[in-house]
Amino acid sequence: MDELVNLVAQKAGLSPDQARTAVQTVLDFLKQKLPAPVAAQLDGVLSGKGPDLGAVGKLFG
């Protein structure tokens, strides 16, 4: 997640704390709106682990 926070800070001209708040707000929003199995993959992706594409693919058919 630090990589994304740094990118947002740089691109938007925000402090690292402001960027972290913005990123966390967007992630929380996405987790509420996406199907639970997809939302659960977000933390894994941001921690550097790839998503389980097989599981995600099953959701979309």
Query: pLDDT (tens digit, 9 = 90+) per residue, 3-17?
Result: 999 999 999 999 999
pLDDT confidence band for 45 (50 / 70 / 90): confident
The answer for residues whose C-beta is within 8 angstroms of residue 27's C-beta and 6 or more apart is 42, 46
pLDDT value at 38 more than 60: yes
In degrees and rounded to multiples of 5, residue 47 shows phi and psi of -90, 0
Give mean pLDDT, residues 26-55. 81
- What does the alpha-carbon distance between residue 11 and residue 57 come to, in Å, rounded to a whole number? 32
* Domain extent for 40: 2-60
| Overall average pLDDT of the 38-59 stretch | 70
The number of domains in the chain is 1
Cα separation, 16 vs 12, in Å, equals 11
Does residue 27 surpass a pLDDT of 90?
Answer: yes
Kindly report whether the global pTM for this prediction surpasses the value 0.75.
no
